Amino acid sequence: MSGRVLVGVKRVIDYAVKIRVKPDNSSVVTDGVKHSMNPFCEIAVEEAVKLKEKKLIKEVVAVSCGPQQAQETIRTALAMGADRGIHVEVSGKDYETLGPLQVSKIMAALAKKEDALLVILGKQAIDDDCNQTGQMTAALLDWPQGTFASELGLDGDKIKVVREIDGGLETIKISTPAVITADLRLNTPRYATLPNIMKAKKKKIAKVQPAELGVDLTSRLEVLRVDEPPQRLAGVKVETVDDLVGKLKDSGKV
């Protein structure tokens, strides 16, 4: 089968890092902090590569929007099996205010330009925790969306998507072209092996400016300040279960 998958990948502060708020409360400290690919994007890449391995699609294109370092994230996707990359260069002030609305406009423009059959994204980035980009990309393209996917089945020009919803799971059938966002349980991403990392260095990353795609990066959201959340007061250790139950009873909790 033919068809192309566009996978969005975001470079974020590594999930295991304890973040720090800047003293001027403007944002979070990112300089000198370990970054890696957003975990949900890894799952999206894995799913796209799997579809290619099953010969259900012919090409996987990894896209990232951001400064120069975004290329590292694209390289990781290439090492996992993506065929080529597109780096949409956004830096400086524009990068600071880059949000899901702008990224979805970029993704929608690229999906049309590249004649994609599917756009697969993570369900949310673990830095801004927005959970918006996939839905907005689908809207701009007027494509159906299969969000929070934990299972995908391509069947001709339809896709069966099992979605994680609040009370359990639901299954929908959507037509292609479509936008999918990956939940944690969609798959387990592979590790890039050293030979594949070496091979990825030879794969091409095209550099594109948002203006070439006709995307205006103006943002009408303004972050006024970023604060530490209120700290919880230190608790106490109890010695026995009776002690614990007694304390909970005294405080009227049970």
Partner 1 sequence: MNRALNKTSLKQLTGLIQRFQSTLVVAEHNNEKLTPITLNAITAASKLGGEVSCLVAGTDCAKVVEQISKVQGVKKVLVAQHDSYKGFLPEEMTPLILATQKQFSYTHICAGASAFGKNLLPRVAAKLDVAPISDIIEIKSPDTFVRTIYAGNALSTVKCNEPIKIFTVRGTSFEPAEVEGGSASTEDVAASAPSGVSEWLEQSLTKSDRPELTSAKVVVSGGRGLKSGDNFKLLYDLADKLNAAVGASRAAVDAGYVPNDMQVGQTGKIVAPELYIAVGISGAIQHLAGMKDSKTIVAINKDPEAPIFQVADYGLVADLFKAVPEMTEALSK
Within 196-235, the residues that bind partner 1 by CB under 8 A are: 219-229, 232-235
Name the token pair of 254: 């049970």
Local structure of 197: helix, strand or coil: helix
Answer for which of 64, 71, 145, 187 binds partner 1 (CB under 8 A) is: 145
Residue list 167-186, contact with partner 1 (CB under 8 A):
167-175, 183-185
Q: Which residue has the tokens 């673990």?
A: 126
| Residue number with CB closer to partner 1 (44 or 60) | 44
Residue 100 as a binder of partner 1 (CB under 8 A): the answer is yes
Residue 19 as a binder of partner 1 (CB under 8 A): the answer is yes
The C-alpha angle 53, 75, 131, rounded to 5 degrees, equals: 80
Q: Return the range that interacts with partner 1 (CB under 8 A); candidates 50-58, 70-78, 79-87, 237-245.
A: 237-245
| Residue number with CB closer to partner 1 (75 or 163) | 163
- Strands 84-89 and 11-13 come out as unpaired
Residue 36 as a binder of partner 1 (CB under 8 A): the answer is no
Q: Note whether 146 and 119 are within 8 A (CB).
A: no
Q: How far is the CB of 190 from partner 1 (least distance, A)?
A: 16
Q: How far is the CB of 156 from partner 1 (least distance, A)?
A: 14
Rounded to whole angstroms, the Cα distance separating 216 from 213 reads: 9
- Strands 158-165 and 145-155 come out as antiparallel
Rounded to whole angstroms, the Cα distance separating 245 from 247 reads: 5
| Residue number with CB closer to partner 1 (174 or 192) | 174
Q: Return the range that interacts with partner 1 (CB under 8 A); candidates 53-61, 111-119, 135-143, 197-205.
A: 135-143
Answer for which of 165, 193, 198, 206 binds partner 1 (CB under 8 A) is: 165
Answer for which of 118, 136, 149, 208 binds partner 1 (CB under 8 A) is: 136
Local structure of 157: helix, strand or coil: coil
Residue 152 as a binder of partner 1 (CB under 8 A): the answer is no
Answer for which of 59, 94, 128, 151 binds partner 1 (CB under 8 A) is: 128
Residue 33 as a binder of partner 1 (CB under 8 A): the answer is no
Rounded to whole angstroms, the Cα distance separating 144 from 66 reads: 27
Go through 206-221 and write b for each residue having 16 or more CB atoms within 10 A of its CB, e for each that does not: eebebeebebebeeee
| Residue number with CB closer to partner 1 (51 or 136) | 136
Considering just the CA atoms, what is the radius of gyration of the chain in Å?
Answer: 21
